[in-house]
């Protein structure tokens, strides 16, 4: 696939949408079927520090199809979901900044992928559901709803969890085969668990989505409990564990298992009243086995103000992400002649303006202390703007 050809095709499609007097294309509803195309692009510039100064254009194309089998085919309780993904091959983190937590959550290699393909079935009037297929773990586990405003990757899934495994867990941009069960134990409490192929894709062929049942890679198991209160207040506590053997950071010997724990609280902190401005906040923390993983601790926190522009869903937010190296990794790095700093800290300020129903603009600023925990790199300052266009949306009774 030629990147230039795709960019020309996408650009022409977006241009036709933007100049159309009727706005984005819409189709008549199809019972039980929802089809969406969302294109996200961003220009980010590292103004100082890091590996070098420079600018990169990153993009992301999401194409999703969701089918309610009851409404579409009369088969009660089922949902079928397909998700295709495209990204270009520009990287700000690898080529320019050198940070550990990844400045942009759409920064990856160039590829067209089948990202998700799963079937879910509901039992007991929806209180119990089972899902199987290619699955993004972060779509339901370690979800930070307030933090979804922010561009830095650590506010999507904690850095200590994202680093784990031989090719990361089953999250953006590569997923693995999984089975998930979710049970709404009580009105305000849900328990979910998943077992996943431990190594998503093929590390030697990173552009492919593959399923490979290698006995040596084992499985990743995750268990999470969620309490959901009033006014979108939430608290989650999760535990993850790999069953395979991993090399220890200190000695390189093999040790079976690799695990960690994470928790999140989020919700409203202040409100001016119905349909008025509201401040929401979050605090997320996690730890990982420091004998196996580079990052042993992560803490993220942020505040988001929304509802302050009448008639629009604009948001402004400030967040901090702190990722700390484990002591064994620091000792090993020093012993090898490549000492590292204790931690990397990212501070992000962003504003998302919902210009129309189908167009959003998001200026973004990030300051990274000790990028990559590399003492030879100066702190970096990144500025840029993201835009999101939803040119095609086929609404249905699912919406």
Higher pLDDT, 178 or 217: 178
Percent of the chain with pLDDT over 70: 90
pLDDT at 27: 43
256-272 tens-digit pLDDT: 889 999 999 999 999 98
Higher pLDDT, 77 or 201: 77
CB burial of 184-216 (b: ≥16 within 10 Å; e: otherwise) equals beeeeebebbbebbbbbbeeeeeeebeeeeeee
Mean pLDDT within 365-370: 98
- The closest alpha carbon to 344, from 317, 364, 373, 315, belongs to 373
Share the mean pLDDT of the chain. 89
- The closest alpha carbon to 221, from 190, 180, 262, belongs to 180
> How many other β-carbons are positioned within 10 Å of the β-carbon of residue 237?
14
Structure tokens at 337: 């002649």
For residue 13, pLDDT beyond 60 = no
Residue 365, CA distances (Å) to 74, 124, 132, 200, 343 in order: 49, 47, 38, 31, 20
β partners of residue 285 = 263, 299
Q: DSSP states of 72-135 as a string?
A: HHS-TTEEEEEEEEEE-S--HIIIII--SS-S-TT---SEEEEEEEEEEEEEGGGTEEEEEEEE
224-249 tens-digit pLDDT: 999 999 888 999 999 999 999 999 99
Structure tokens at 314: 């604009």
pLDDT band, residue 22 (cuts 50/70/90): very low
270-325 tens-digit pLDDT: 998 777 899 999 999 999 999 999 999 999 999 999 988 888 889 999 999 999 99
For residue 3, pLDDT beyond 60 = no
Residue 4, CA distances (Å) to 55, 62, 73 in order: 18, 18, 40
CATH architecture, domain 3-394: Beta Barrel (2.40)
Which residue ranges make up each domain of the chain?
A: 3-394
Segments in the chain forming alpha helices (H): 3-19, 69-73, 92, 159-162, 327-335
CB burial of 287-324 (b: ≥16 within 10 Å; e: otherwise) equals bbbbbbbbbbbbbbbbbbbbbeeeeeebbbbebbbbbb
């Amino acid at each position: 696939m030629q990147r230039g050809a795709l960019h020309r095709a996408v650009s022409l499609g977006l241009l036709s949408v933007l100049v159309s007097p009727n706005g984005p294309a819409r189709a008549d509803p199809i019972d039980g079927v929802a089809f969406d195309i969302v294109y996200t692009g961003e220009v980010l510039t590292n103004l100082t520090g890091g590996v070098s100064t420079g600018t990169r254009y990153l993009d992301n194309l999401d194409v999703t199809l969701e089918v309610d089998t009851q409404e579409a085919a009369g088969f009660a309780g089922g949902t079928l979901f397909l998700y295709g993904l495209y990204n270009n091959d520009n990287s700000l983190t690898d080529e320019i900044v050198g940070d550990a937590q990844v400045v942009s959550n759409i920064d990856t290699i160039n590829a067209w992928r089948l990202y998700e393909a799963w079937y879910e079935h509901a039992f007991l009037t929806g209180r119990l559901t089972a899902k199987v297929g290619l699955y993004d773990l972060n779509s339901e586990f370690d979800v930070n709803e307030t933090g979804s405003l922010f561009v830095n990757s650590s506010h999507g899934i904690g850095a200590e969890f994202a680093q784990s495994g031989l090719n990361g867990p089953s999250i953006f941009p590569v997923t693995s085969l999984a089975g998930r069960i979710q049970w709404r134990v009580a009105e305000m409490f849900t328990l979910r668990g998943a077992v996943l192929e431990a190594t998503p894709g093929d590390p030697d062929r990173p552009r492919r989505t593959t399923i490979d049942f290698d006995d040596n890679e084992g499985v990743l198991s995750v268990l999470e409990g969620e309490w959901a209160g009033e006014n979108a207040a939430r608290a989650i506590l999760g535990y993850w564990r790999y069953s395979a053997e991993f090399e220890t950071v200190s000695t390189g010997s093999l040790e079976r298992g690799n695990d960690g724990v994470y928790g999140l609280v989020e919700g409203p902190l202040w409100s001016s009243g119905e349909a008025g401005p509201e401040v929401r906040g979050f605090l997320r923390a996690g730890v990982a086995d420091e004998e196996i993983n580079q990052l042993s601790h992560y803490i993220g926190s942020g505040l988001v103000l929304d509802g302050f522009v009448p008639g629009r869903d604009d948001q402004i937010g400030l967040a901090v992400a702190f990722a700390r190296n484990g002591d064994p990794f620091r000792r090993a790095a020093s012993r090898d002649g490549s000492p590292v700093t204790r931690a990397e800290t990212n501070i992000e300020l962003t504003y998302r303006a919902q210009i129309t129903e189908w167009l959003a603009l998001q200026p973004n600023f990030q300051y990274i202390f000790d990028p990559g925990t590399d003492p030879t790199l100066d702190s970096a300052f990144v500025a840029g703007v993201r835009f999101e266009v939803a040119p095609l949306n086929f609404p249905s009774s699912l919406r």
